[in-house]
Amino acid sequence: MKPKEVLAYCREKNVKAIDLRFMDFPGVWQHFTIPVGKLNEDVFEDGLGFDGSSIRGWQAINESDMIVVPQAETAVLDPFAAIPTLSLICNIQDPITREDYSRDPRNIARKAVNYLKSSGIADTCFIGPEAEFFVFDDVRFDQNAHEGYYHVDSGEAEWNRGRDEKPNLGYKLRHKEGYFPVPPSDQLMDVRNEMMHTMIECGLDVEAQHHEVATGGQCEIDLKFQDLVRMADSICHYKYIVKNTARKHGKTVTFMPKPLYGDNGSGMHVHLSLWKNNEPLFAGGGYAGLSDMGLHAIGGLLRHAPALCALTNPTTNSYKRLVPGYEAPVNLAYSQRNRSAACRIPMYSSSPKAKRVEFRCPDPSCNPYLAFAAMLMAVIDGVQNKYHPGPPLDKDIYDLPPEELARVPKAPGSLDEALSNLERDHEFLLRGDVFTQDVIATWIDYKRKREVDALRLRPHPYEFCLYYDI
């Protein structure tokens, strides 16, 4: 839609409020709301002011004024608001220079796409993420000077087989056996169907929904691939819809990568392909039907994966998932069909249009704008410098002999390690002024102070199990 069309749509749908939304630096949607009468065509050009110093990782208090500029093409009726409300995703600008803000994640994603076009390599990057999440019935957690704990619960979880539920009807999902059972074992089908239907009403192109591997309510809803910025916008709507639909049913959703010990964590495998003039560029006569460009794209992803993880797996909890034994891609290798490799080439279809690369490291705690942009920059670097990924690894990596496994590069083992890798390897992100040095430095500083150090300084409950009686 264009601004005039948005205003006409508001009149048609009797919209009463306009919700202006944008992504903060770590990756959480923010918003404020104005009466519909305050929205006019000038607002789409001039924007509206707000306090940028109150947004995590953004402006200092002495330079706090910022502007949100609504983007008409992102208009969606909010399916949860009590009065008719239209949501608009916004870009962020400096009020004095009117330049797009360097730390606005959506701006970074837009710059990555523009850099791709200017490189001449391709004109479109299609992204298809598979975001997993848990739906719990109850969650409690706290951490203070004298205690630290968490408690999550799910009516379908294995640990509730013996609970007195008056009556307990059984049908609890065993650990690692949640993939595809029908109801009544799958107790969340109706909730996921409502999530799926709401997404479709909001303009998202949903391909499928299903229960995932873990017990305790792990789910996945897949979206059809879209261009990079539009897909990042869609992931914002995706999370909003999933969380609010669950809340309607008295349930709660988390996109934490590893909320349960001893079962699979939640990943966000990302399918990526480059196109030019409506023609796919990754299809060819090489390994797994890939072109040289497709292989070089994998080479870029694998070469920069240790640094990419600081953006695609950006929480301390991310590295509770990236461990062997839970289908997590800790080994930086590539293969066709093999899900134990960090990069997989799906073989579902022989059509050149279906040829793509799946990067399996990312998880849904990431900021989608930053993660997708960083992945694209690694791919561009691989293509420009013709990085070959070496021979594929078509064996089950987890069954390799120790001496052979030791030769396979590994993903970082912690957020701190990933941030150190990003410190050493980020020049590829700076090209085309996509990520700026200020963005990289602020990201590393924020993550170390607010998350790495915050966790490092606090006693862990399991340390009491290990050490209390020393």
Q: Give catalytic residue positions.
A: 51, 130, 132, 212, 220, 269, 339, 358, 360
Tokens 């909890």 sit on residue: 317
Are the C-beta atoms of residues 439 and 108 closer than 8 Å to each other?
A: yes
Residue type for position 417: E
Q: Distance between CA atoms of 399 and 85, rounded to whole angstroms? A: 53
Contacts of residue 199, Cβ cutoff 8 Å, sequence gap at least 6: 206, 221, 223, 237, 238, 241
CA 48 to chain centre: 28
What does DSSP assign to residue 149?
E
Q: For the stretch 417-438, what's the b/e string if a residue is b when 16 or more beta carbons lie within 10 angstroms of its beta carbon?
A: bbbbbbeebbebbeeeebbeee
β-bridge partners, 272: 127, 357
Q: Distance between CA atoms of 20 and 88, rounded to whole angstroms? A: 5
Structure tokens, 33: 């709301």
Element (DSSP H or E) covering residue 444: helix 437-447
Q: Distance between CA atoms of 277 and 128, rounded to whole angstroms? A: 20
Are the C-beta atoms of residues 95 and 67 closer than 8 Å to each other?
A: yes
Q: Which of 76, 460, 32, 389 has the alpha carbon at shortest distance from 230? A: 76
